[in-house]
Amino acid sequence: MERLGYREVRTPYVEATPLFVRTIGSSTDVVEKEMFSFSHRDEPLTLRPEATAGIARAYVEHKVHNSEPVSRWYYLGPMFRAERPQRGRYRQFSQVGAECFGDAGPGCDAEMIDALVAFLGDIGIASPEVFVNSIGSSDTRARYKQALVAKLEPVKDKLSEDSQRRLVTNPLRVLDSKNPVDLELVQDVPSVLDFLGNEDRAHWDGLRRHLDALGTPYQVDPKLVRGLDYYGRTLFEIKGAYDKLGAGSTLIGGGRYDGMVAELGGPAVPAIGFAAGTERLLIASELGSETSVVDVVVAPIGEGAVDAALVLGRDARRAGIRCEVDTRDASIKARLRRANALGARIALLIGDRELAEGVAVLKDLAGHAQETIARANVITRVADLLATPAPAPATMPGATQAASAASERAP
Ligand code: HAM
């Protein structure tokens, strides 16, 4: 996100309940069934089910539009929804997301979608599927809703109870029903894309043109409506890793919400954003499978060596080397086992004799070689070794390289 010019924003986990009702919509699943709400001294509060509303609230409250024509903000943190917990669906989950305020153009939308596809590739989620749609601005939606209701009204009694209710309160949501009978009945409803007004159509055509120029693969899904009412124009969802997550699980969802800032009392500032479920990304990706936690483990043998070990550990970290000092009163064998389990390349051992002689024993755990070095030179030697690929045979690499290379390994 930082490479795209986004900066981190942190907003409270708890917001006033009416904020969510107003923005997400009173007839959505999130507001009707999934919010953890409570009253504190007569003030209705809710654990945030998502971050967009709170971020827009902060944007308006701090009048950010006065100082920045465009604000690009990202966030990560916990969200809360009272859903039935299952794989990839939790009551407290975490999202990473972003919001861009102040840019109405479809180029902004295309850039976001394209960057997300690249990001998924980077974390090992190959060939994700991108679904895009436009539900236009409020005029378009009003016309489309009429047509949708006219089409579904004659078969109303066959719809699920939820959808019958939604046909009255929030007809677009009927398209999002998972009920198999509903799915059948909405099969040939008119496409919202045929109802786009001129400006909405220009925006939609622009989005597709930009995505084509970027070479971003996408599928148009005119029935994509998403579960939050604040959207207008662009909507998108990204799915993938069906083998690990099942077909129903969306990795990333987002869209435009050009009306929200004004709805919350600010000026007419357009906005678009997305959120990804962090747990779903972890299940679907290769993230978290890296085995190396530290580069070096320092093991003092006996209490007398702890001070020297702590100093070595601190010096190593100052040189950008990931280092853990294992001060447990455990056997050398146990500590080498732990060093291996942490994926450390090097163990540094200091016992009474090493302490007295001002040296440390350096064990290259990859090469299974060992050398005794003056403690003053240990960090340089460690940095050299770390800058050298682990040796295949059990020999120590001879040549030394610039110690500064180690800083490139800093996490
Ligand atoms: P959302 O579609 O409600 O959108 O959620 C986005 C993503 O959060 C989902 O695709 C999923 O990966 C994850 N997620 C949602 N609920 C759960 C859950 N119970 N357990 C685990 N993961 C979950 C939003 O939240 C919007 N705020 C996105 C947005 C930002 N639109 C504009 N700006």
pLDDT, one tens digit per residue, over 185-196 is 999 999 999 999
What spacing in Å lies between the alpha carbon of 247 and ligand 1's midpoint?
16
Backbone angles phi, psi at 177, to 5 degrees: -65, 145
Residue of 15, 280, 282, 283 to mutate, ligand 1, most atoms within 8 A of C-beta: 280
On the 0-12 / 13-18 / 19+ scale of CB atoms within 10 A, 20 is buried
Q: Are the beta carbons of 337 and 366 closer than 8 angstroms? A: no
Long-range contacts of 58-62, Cβ-Cβ distance < 8 Å, separation of 24 or more:
58/9, 58/11, 59/101, 59/261, 59/266, 59/269, 60/261, 60/264, 60/265, 60/266
What spacing in Å lies between the alpha carbon of 50 and ligand 1's midpoint?
7
- The residue nearest atom 25 of ligand 1, judged by CA position, is 50
Query: Which residue(s) pair with 73 in the sheet?
Result: 7, 99
What spacing in Å lies between the alpha carbon of 149 and ligand 1's midpoint?
28
Quote the DSSP letter at residue 289.
-
Ligand 1 environment, Cβ below 6 A? 50-52, 81, 83, 88-90, 93, 95, 97, 99, 227-228, 250-255, 257, 273-277, 279-280
Helix (H, G, I), strand (E, B) or coil at 234: strand
Report the C-alpha gap between 40 and 13 in whole angstroms: 15
**Interstrand relation of 129-134 and 71-80 (parallel, antiparallel or unpaired):** unpaired
Which pLDDT belongs to residue 273? 98
Taking the CA of residue 257 as reference, the ligand 1 atom at the shortest distance is: 32
Report the C-alpha gap between 339 and 330 in whole angstroms: 13
What spacing in Å lies between the alpha carbon of 277 and ligand 1's midpoint?
6
Taking the CA of residue 51 as reference, the ligand 1 atom at the shortest distance is: 27
On the 0-12 / 13-18 / 19+ scale of CB atoms within 10 A, 17 is middle
What spacing in Å lies between the alpha carbon of 66 and ligand 1's midpoint?
29
Which pLDDT belongs to residue 401? 37
Which of 47, 8, 76 has its CA nearest to residue 277? 76
- The residue nearest atom 12 of ligand 1, judged by CA position, is 277
Question: What's the first-to-final CA gap in the chain, in angstroms?
Answer: 17
Taking the CA of residue 97 as reference, the ligand 1 atom at the shortest distance is: 30
Taking the CA of residue 89 as reference, the ligand 1 atom at the shortest distance is: 20
Q: Are the beta carbons of 239 and 218 closer than 8 angstroms? A: no
- Tell me the whole-structure pTM to 2 decimals: 0.85
Taking the CA of residue 280 as reference, the ligand 1 atom at the shortest distance is: 12
What spacing in Å lies between the alpha carbon of 276 and ligand 1's midpoint?
6
What string of pLDDT tens digits covers the 411 residues of the chain?
999 999 999 999 999 999 999 999 998 999 999 999 999 999 999 999 999 999 999 999 999 999 999 999 999 999 999 999 999 999 999 999 999 999 999 999 999 999 999 999 999 998 899 999 999 999 999 999 999 999 999 999 999 999 999 999 999 999 999 899 999 999 999 999 999 999 999 999 999 999 999 999 999 999 999 999 999 999 999 999 998 888 778 999 999 999 999 999 999 999 999 999 999 999 999 777 667 899 999 999 999 999 999 999 999 999 999 999 999 999 999 999 999 999 999 999 999 999 999 999 999 998 889 999 999 999 999 999 999 887 664 444 433 333 333 333 333
Q: Are the beta carbons of 223 and 237 closer than 8 angstroms? A: no
Ranges assigned E (strand) in 137-220: 219-220
What spacing in Å lies between the alpha carbon of 97 and ligand 1's midpoint?
9
What spacing in Å lies between the alpha carbon of 248 and ligand 1's midpoint?
13
- The residue nearest atom 33 of ligand 1, judged by CA position, is 273
Count Cα atoms within 13 angstroms, Cβ side, for 221. Answer: 17
**Average pLDDT of the chain to the nearest whole number:** 92
Helix (H, G, I), strand (E, B) or coil at 246: coil
